[in-house]
Amino acid sequence: MSILVIAEHDGNNLKVATRQTIAAAAQLGNDIHVLIAGDYLDNVVAQASKLEGVSKVLVAQAEHLAHALAEDAAALIVSVAASYSAILGGHSSFTRDILPRAAAQLDVGMVSDVVEIISPNSFKRPIYAGNLIATVDSEERIRVLTVRGSRFKSVDAIAGHAAEIKSLPVPVSSGKAKWVAETKGNSGRPELSTARVVVSGGRSLGSEEKFQHILNPLAETLGAAIGASRAAVDAGYAPNDTQVGQTGTLVAPDIYMAFGISGSIQHTAGIKDSKVIVAVNLDPDAPIFQVADYGLVADLFEVIPQLNNALVTEA
């Protein structure tokens, strides 16, 4: 049977997580369909149809799907699920909201945060904040999975490739919830989950003003995304969408820089796939140094300006 990938997009472009999920789906079967829900989807559909391995693009277009809520998106998935042996999505807040509901309505179990596919019925996923890797066998009639995108190489568009495009009938809105509004920052920096460089700060920065004043110049110089520890977010120094860790965003940049972050288990679980981890902390016994490739016991308020000045001068 075919494999269904739930697409993530911003209305104009597919997110990298979808390309990575398609790569994971290719390990389960070679007939991959991509489901795109939303409104005014021409650009997104065109991108998906050209991706390697994609044989069909399913388009669910309706006004109430422009900002898809779990109630409506899950109903859409359930309406087509019988044709598939597996349904996959990236391990993001988007799919973690939708796929558990769809799995429950299908009366099947779900395997989340898959980091390796052993066979169509066997998967590896982290447990105990990433300290152990469990092998999970699933005999469900439909396997519902979220996959950690950083463990799978993103697929590319292929010149001349054009998958079949099919429009779907859209279930009516449940009416149980409605999208009201959202506020997005316009920093011009890359998205946290896909950035090549991430500069993160902890509660040691002391205030929201210092968090922004100290980290922003370095992030601008490096073209980096800004992240934060859970403690910094809880203290109100940084917005929720910057939280890095098991309960926030999982990141896998080329360079992850942690300033004033002690390194709790939930935080280090979210940065383990980073190629290089740099840590600066006044406490020489901070747990972050156990996972860091480079560690400096120093005052971040002195180190960050010096580092930024050196980078600017070098440039």
The reported pLDDT for the residue numbered 194 is 86
CATH architecture for segment(s) 197-314: 3-Layer(aba) Sandwich (3.40)
Say which DSSP state 151 is in. Answer: G
The reported pLDDT for the residue numbered 131 is 81
Residue 247 marked as a ligand binder: yes
The reported pLDDT for the residue numbered 57 is 97
Residue 265 marked as a ligand binder: yes
Residues 6+ apart with CB under 8 A from 25: 3, 5, 32, 53, 86, 88
Which residues of the chain fall below pLDDT 70? 184-187, 315
What is the distance, to the nearest Å, from the Cα of residue 82 to the centroid of all Cα atoms in its chain? Answer: 27
Domain ranges of the chain: 2-167, 197-314
Question: Which residue in 83, 92, 54, 74 sits closest to 44, CA to CA?
Answer: 54
Q: Is residue 86 within 8 Å of residue 119, measured between CB atoms?
A: no
Residue 11 marked as a ligand binder: no
pTM listed for this prediction = 0.85
Residue 266 marked as a ligand binder: yes
CATH architecture for segment(s) 2-167: 3-Layer(aba) Sandwich (3.40)
Asked if the domains at 2-167 and 197-314 fall in one CATH topology, the answer is yes
Residue 244 marked as a ligand binder: yes
Residue 27 marked as a ligand binder: no
